Copies of this chain bind each other. A is one copy, B any other.
Amino acid sequence: MLTVFGSVAIDTIRTPFKVIRNALGGAATYAAISASFFHRPGLIAVVGHDFPKKYQNVLDKFVDTKGVVHANGQTFRYDGSYDKTLSSRRTNKTELNVLKDFKPIVPEGYRKSEFVYLANNDPAQNTKIIKEFDRVKFSMCDTIDFWISTKKNDVIKMMGVVDSVVINDEEARLLTKTHNLIKAAKRIMEWGTRFVIIKKGEHGSLLFYDDVVFPSPAFSLENIVDPTGAGDSFAGGMIGYLADKNNAKTSTIREAVTYGNVMGSFAVEKYGTAGLVRLSKSQIQNRFKYYKKMVQF
């Protein structure tokens, strides 16, 4: 089984071309929906009483929502604006709401999950929750600059209790105070994780393990409309694929990273979660095959 833990949000996303308000968002939402094309995940998250029924229906369609708590209060809300190149995002407003006092509980049925993805959360909470799973074959966490700046020691501790860290290039640099990404990944591996995946947006990703680097270019796209959730869709696709294969061999992980790239490429082609929710498995397979041919020489 696969469990995804993290935020479900209501997003306002402002791009130079379009503004979408009150859209279904959140790191765990993207990751779990992306993963679901490979292996239906259980989702641990919290939403408020204002969480629209239609979004609950979306979650129900793609994931097991036994772990989604409906709390008293407003759903976590995020408002962000992209610059005209869509490559940098400014946060306008973050309202934690029900996320603030959420004490996540792992449903009994989820405890036997062999695959666990800890999306961006308070690192201390992530470190605590991973211990509630007792048959983990492969766990993975993400983090963002906010936690690196405010709880760096907890971030480092968290990275020591998972099998894999997935992180943006700029955040890896911020965290390790190292510009070179190989050096940055080695530093992160010193903290205890075996795999590091550095996401580089339009430049793809770098997977590190042992003394190996596996670079994979992004699927090249001419029309990117909304990068929101691309990294989460990457991580979700990756761990979903691993859960489906039910192993964490390095050869499987290399394929999983490639599926991660593919899922990220679908996510950015439409606004919000629209790039994922209308996908079919055959579209994913076709793009994977196309990608494989694309990079050959």
Contacts and interface: CB of A to CB of B under 8 A. Distances in A.
A214 B297 contact: yes
A297 B182 contact: no
Contact of A215 (B179, B217, B292): B217
Given A203-B200, A255-B297, A180 B217 contact: no
A203 B141 CA distance: 24
**Copies of this chain, tallied across the complex:** 2
Nearest to A215: B217
A294 interface: yes
A289 B143 CA distance: 35
Contact of A297 (B213, B218, B254, B297): B254
15 contacts: A84-B179, A85-B179, A180-B222, A180-B223, A180-B224, A182-B222, A183-B222, A200-B203, A203-B203, A206-B220, A213-B294, A215-B217, A215-B218, A258-B297, A295-B295
B216 A220 contact: no
A204 interface: yes
- Kindly list the 4 A-B residue pairs having the minimum CB-CB distance in the complex, ordered from nearest: A215-B217, A203-B203, A254-B297, A182-B222
Contacts of A294: 212-215
Contacts of A214: 294-295, 297
B215 A295 contact: yes
Contacts of A180: 222-224
Nearest to A257: B297
A292 B84 CA distance: 36
A220 B297 contact: no
Pick from A200, A203, A204, A214 the residue with the most CB of B within 10 Å: A203
A222 B296 CA distance: 25
A194 B251 CA distance: 37
A149 B288 CA distance: 40
Contacts of A86: 179
B217 A216 contact: yes
A255 B215 CA distance: 17
B215 A182 contact: no
B221 A182 contact: yes
Nearest to A173: B85
Contacts of A292: 297
A215 B220 contact: yes
Interface string A95-119: 0000000000000000000000000
Given A85-B179, A180-B223, A214-B295, 15 more contacts: A86-B179, A87-B179, A180-B224, A181-B220, A204-B215, A204-B217, A206-B220, A213-B294, A215-B294, A215-B295, A216-B217, A251-B297, A254-B297, A257-B297, A258-B297
